Amino acid sequence: MSHNQNILTLDEFTIQQLRMFPKATGELSTLLRDIGLAAKRIYAEVNKSGLANIPGATDTKNVHSEQVQALDVFAHNQLKGVLKNGLSCAGIASEEMENIEVFDDAANNKSKYVVMFDPLDGSSNIDTNISIGTIFGVYRRISETGTPCTMEDFLQPGNKQVAAGYIIYGSSTMLVYATRRGVNGFTLDPSIGEFCLSHPNMQCPTNGDSYSVNQGYWYQYEREIQLFITHCQEKGMSQRYVGSMVADMHRTLLKGGIFLYPATYRKPSGKLRLMYECNPFAFIIQVAGGEAISGTAKIIDIVPECLHQVSPVFIGSKMLVGELKKYLHPGGLHKVYSNPAEIEI
Ligand code: AHG
Ligand code: MN
Ligand code: MN
C-alpha cells in the first residue's frame, strides 16, 4: 500500500501548530507525543489480548469498587511511564489510583502540566472484542513550577483544561484531541506506527438521530429522563449504546446525537467520573460545537470537591441537549419564550 505523503502525522501536526506561536515552548506537543506513544503500546496489547493471555480480571477492586482488569493496570502503567519519563508532566491522577501521583524530581517539577486519565475505558467490553478506549484531560498547574505539584492542581474545573482527548481502540485506532483552537482526529497507520491526521477540525453536528443511554435502567431513572427518552422514541430516533463511553462519544461526535448517563436509583449521583470521563468529553464536545451538562450546570463549570467525584452527564448535539433541558427545567422554559402568548398555562 502506498502512503499519502500529504497526510500529517501527529508530531508534524503539533509542530505545525507550534510554528504559528513562536513563543510556545512545545511542552504540550511533547506531552501529546508521549500520550501517543503510550496509546500505541496499549493498542498493541489490546490487539493481541486474546493471544497473549492478558485478558481477565485481577483480584483487586479500584476506588470505585469495580473489579480491576489486567488491561486497566497495563494501560495505567504505560501512561504513567511515558508521562514520568517525559518532560511535560508534573504529576498524574488516574481512575485506577486512589491518590494523585506527584513526579517529584527536578525535571518533572519544571513541567507546566498535570494530566488526569481513565487508562482503559469500557473495561467490561475488554474480553468481548468491543471497542474500548483511553480518556485524558490536561491542566496547567496552579502551583509554582519548579516545585512538586499539589492536589489543587488537579481539583480544577473542566473549563481550565488546556487540552483533552481520547484514544479509541476500535476497528481502527484513533487519537482525537482538542485544544481551544479545535478538535482533530488521527488514525493509527499500523504499517508505519504513526497517528496520521484523518479528521481535521471535527465538528459535532448540531442535531442527530440517535440517543445513547442504558435503557436497562429505565425503572431507575427519574420521570423527566423517562419522558425525554420517550420523546426521542416518538421522534423515531435510533437507540445506540455500546457501554464504552469512548465508543458512544466517538459516534456522537462524528454523527451527532445525545449520550446520557443520568442519576439512577442505585447511583443517585450518576456513575461516570467527572475528572476522567465527563470533563474531557465535555471539553472536546464544546470545542466541536456541542454541549455537555450535568442537569443543573455545565459539566466543565463544576468545581470538583474530590478526585473521584461522579456526575450525571448529558452530552452531544446542541439541539438535542437543548430539547433535554426543556424536560429537566420545565419552569425554566418560560424564561426563554420571547412571546408570552406562546406560554401554555
Ligand atoms: P470504565 O470501564 O472506565 O470503568 O468505564 C465504564 C463506563 C463507561 O465507559 C460506560 O459508558 C459506562 O461505564 C457503562 O456503564 P453501564 O454498564 O452502567 O451502562
Ligand atoms: Mn471509563
Ligand atoms: Mn477505566
**How far away, in angstroms, is 230 Cα from ligand 2 center?**
27
Alpha-carbon span 12 to 9, nearest angstrom: 5
In the chain, which residues fall in CATH 3.40.190.80?
A: 210-328
Query: Residue with C-alpha cell 418560560?
Result: 334
Minimum CA distance residue for ligand 1 atom 14 = 243
Q: What is the pLDDT of residue 100?
A: 98
State the number of CA atoms in the 13 A half-sphere of 22 facing the CB: 0
What is the share, in percent, of the chain residues with pLDDT greater than 90? 81
108-164 pLDDT, tens digit per residue, is 999 999 999 999 999 889 888 999 999 999 999 999 999 999 999 999 999 999 999
Q: Quote the cell numbers at residue 101.
A: 501521583
* Residue 299 alpha carbon to ligand 3 centre in Å: 19
pTM, entire model: 0.94
The finding on whether 118 has its CB within 6 A of some atom of ligand 1 is yes
CA distance 266 to 269: 9
Say yes or no: CB of residue 291 within 6 Å of ligand 1: no
- CB of 206 closer than 6 angstroms to any ligand 1 atom: no
Has residue 342 got a pLDDT over 50? no
Q: What DSSP designation does 60 have?
A: E
242 CA → ligand 1 middle, Å: 9
**What are the pLDDT digits (tens) for 238-277?**
999 999 999 999 999 999 999 999 999 999 999 999 999 9
Nearest to 26 by CA among 8, 6, 7, 11: 11
| DSSP string computed for 298-323 | BGGG---SSTT-B--EEEE-HHHHHH
Q: 27 in ligand 1 pocket by Cβ < 6 Å?
A: no
Residues of the chain with CATH 3.30.540.10: 10-199
pLDDT of residue 37: 98
Residue 7 makes CB contacts below 8 A (sequence gap 6+) with 196, 197, 198
CATH number for the domain running over 210-328: 3.40.190.80
Rg (CA), the chain: 20
CB 288 within 8 A of CB 204: yes
Overall fold of domain 10-199: Fructose-1,6-Bisphosphatase; Chain A, domain 1 (3.30.540)
- For atom 3 of ligand 1, the residue with the nearest CA is 121
Q: Which ligand 1 atom is at minimum distance from the Cα of 64?
A: 4
Give whole-number Cα distances, 254 to 66, 218, 281, in Å: 30, 26, 13
Q: Cβ(245) to ligand 1 under 6 A?
A: yes
